[in-house]
Homo-oligomer: A and B are copies of this chain.
């Protein structure tokens, strides 16, 4: 398959999908849900083969869990599809309607982005989630899944596309890329692909970002911080930090660095070290933190490995955390803005003023007070499904749902108006919002 040619064709057909009705797109989603359920044995059989191969190839158990597509995963994606159907049409909405002059009406109207390339590692359920989000929002999608679940992806894709076409959507609305070299071809389609969404490891996303002129939505690093203010409830702090670090260690919104106000470091650090020791979390930190802990009365709370300042750029995705003692909230904010990845950062404090300052000054997609960084997620925000979490500041930031898959265009309808008349003062604008 020639990805460039296919992308070109898809781009020219994209307006057909953009012009489809919400009813047709919802009908496609309904048929997709039905077909997935009807063909589940076929899907599970393909997935069993993928998983058997993966096991033979010595894939780690943590990854194995992500490859699996079983009844529970099928239920999840089908529930997601039902939720998508129930959401209002994200396209065709008039976001602004303004009469510029008599019989000259400007409308800003939401439209699909166009052609979206999605490249993801593992997780076959992501294929279903992302393709249905794209269809609901009227976007064409080129999907490239991980090779570990190639058989599962192929079955899922053909079921999804067949159902979409049966509902009346154009056959060119979905395309599957299967070969690894097709990724590089796809990265060069800047004329025809409007957006790339990569989902996978830091290095994988970084590679995509560094090798294409197509705008990329997503995140590479997820270096999240929790700042324990001097006015923190220490019992709550230990519980929230433990959740943020251990509830799902491999997640991008898991915490990596704990900043502790100097005034409570002596009391809180041994407590934290104790909780972390029980959860098998290793601590790394500055010399001050290490000395403080070593000098603490409770000598059996373990120790802190001393790290370099530059190491605060590290995303562990593992049972390891960095710790630093800071002089005040300003130092905490400065550290986060300097070493963070602008993903999700939290302050734990009872002090409203400190919290307000932190929420305002920390330059991240998510800034939290008194709760776990693990809440950064489209489902937990009530967006239904998400295509990923964006740390970019343009277009969409944080968890991205349907809203992030649309753009707008301006239509202007007149009755022969020319600019020359306005330039010469024969006509003038009156700007009246309708």
Which residues of A are interface residues toward B (Cβ below 8 A)? Answer: 11-12, 14-16, 18-19, 98, 100, 104, 106, 113-114, 194-195, 209-210, 213, 215, 217, 233, 236, 239-240, 242-244, 247-248, 333-334, 337-338, 355, 359-372, 374-376, 380-382, 392-395, 397-398, 407-420, 422-423, 429, 431
Contacts of A14 in B (CB 8 A): 363
Most buried by B among A215, A337, A393: A393
Chain B residue at minimal CB-CB distance from A113: B393
Which residues in B have their C-beta under 8 angstroms from that of A381?
98, 100, 106, 410
Q: Which of A239, A375, A381 neighbours the largest number of chain B CB atoms within 10 Å of its CB?
A: A375
Contact B247 A372 (CB under 8 A): no
- In the complex, which residues of chain B have a beta carbon less than 8 angstroms from the beta carbon of A18? 360-361, 363
Return chain B residues, CB-CB under 8 Å to A239. 416, 418
> By the criterion CB–CB under 8 Å, are A417 and B215 in contact?
no
- Which of chain B's residues have a CB closer than 8 A to the CB of A100? 375, 380-382
| Neighbouring B residues of A12 by C-beta, 8 Å | 334, 337-338
Instruction: For A419, give its contact among B15, B209, B334, B374 (CB under 8 Å).
Output: B374
* B418–A368 CB distance below 8 A: no
Bound together, the chains give a CA A418 to CA B393 distance in angstroms of 27
Q: Which residues of B contact A365 (CB under 8 A)?
A: 409-410
Tell me whether A394 and B215 are in contact in the complex, defined as CB-CB below 8 angstroms, given that A236-B416, A363-B14 are known contacts.
Answer: yes
Chain B contacts of A194 at CB under 8 A?
393-394
Give, as a whole number of angstroms, the nearest-CB distance from A165 to chain B: 20
Which residues of chain B come closer than 8 Å to A423, judged between CB atoms? 247
Give the residues in chain B near A367, CB-CB below 8 Å: 409-412
List residues of chain B with CB within 8 A of the CB of A106. 381-382
- Cα of A420 to Cα of B374 in the assembled complex, Å: 9
Shortest Cβ distance from A8 into chain B, in angstroms? 9
- Number of identical protomers: 2
CA distance A236 to B376 in the complex (A): 55
Cα–Cα, bound, A341→B390 (Å): 27
Given A12-B338, A333-B15, A393-B114, check contact A417 B382 (CB 8 Å). Answer: no
User: Which residues from B are CB-within-8-Å of A244?
Assistant: 418-419
**What B residues does A213 contact at CB under 8 A?**
209-210
- Residues of B contacting A407 with CB < 8 Å? 393-394, 397
- Taking a contact as CB atoms under 8 Å apart, the answer to whether B98 and A369 are in contact is no
The residue that A371 contacts in the complex, of B11, B374, B409, B412, with Cβ under 8 A, is B412
- By a CB distance below 8 angstroms, the chain B residues around A429 are 380, 382
Docked pose: A372 CA to B106 CA in angstroms: 13
Instruction: State A394–B392 Cα separation when bound (angstroms).
Output: 11
Which B residues touch A397, using CB under 8 A?
Answer: 407-410
A243 to B104 alpha-carbon distance, docked (Å): 16
Chain B: minimal CB distance from A126 (Å): 19
Are B15 and A337 within 8 A (Cβ)?
yes
> Which chain B residues lie closer than 8 Å to A215 at the CB level?
215, 392, 394
Residues of B within 8 A of A422 (CB): 380
- Top 3 nearest A-B pairs (CB, nearest first) are A371-B414, A243-B418, A374-B419
Tell me which residues across on chain B come within 8 A of A413, comparing CB atoms.
355, 359, 368-371
Q: Is the CB of B195 within 8 A of A412?
A: no
Cβ–Cβ contact B243 & A19, under 8 A? no
Given the interface pairs A247-B423, A412-B366, the reply to whether A195 lies near B394 with Cβ below 8 Å is yes
Residues of B close to A371: CB separation below 8 A:
104, 412-418
Q: Min CB distance, A230 to chain B, in Å?
A: 17
B416 in contact with A233 (CB, 8 Å): yes
Verify B417–A375 contact, CB threshold 8 A: yes
A433 to chain B, nearest CB (A): 9
Per the bound structure, the CA–CA distance linking A236 and B414 in Å amounts to 11
Residue on B nearest A363 in the bound complex, by CB: B15
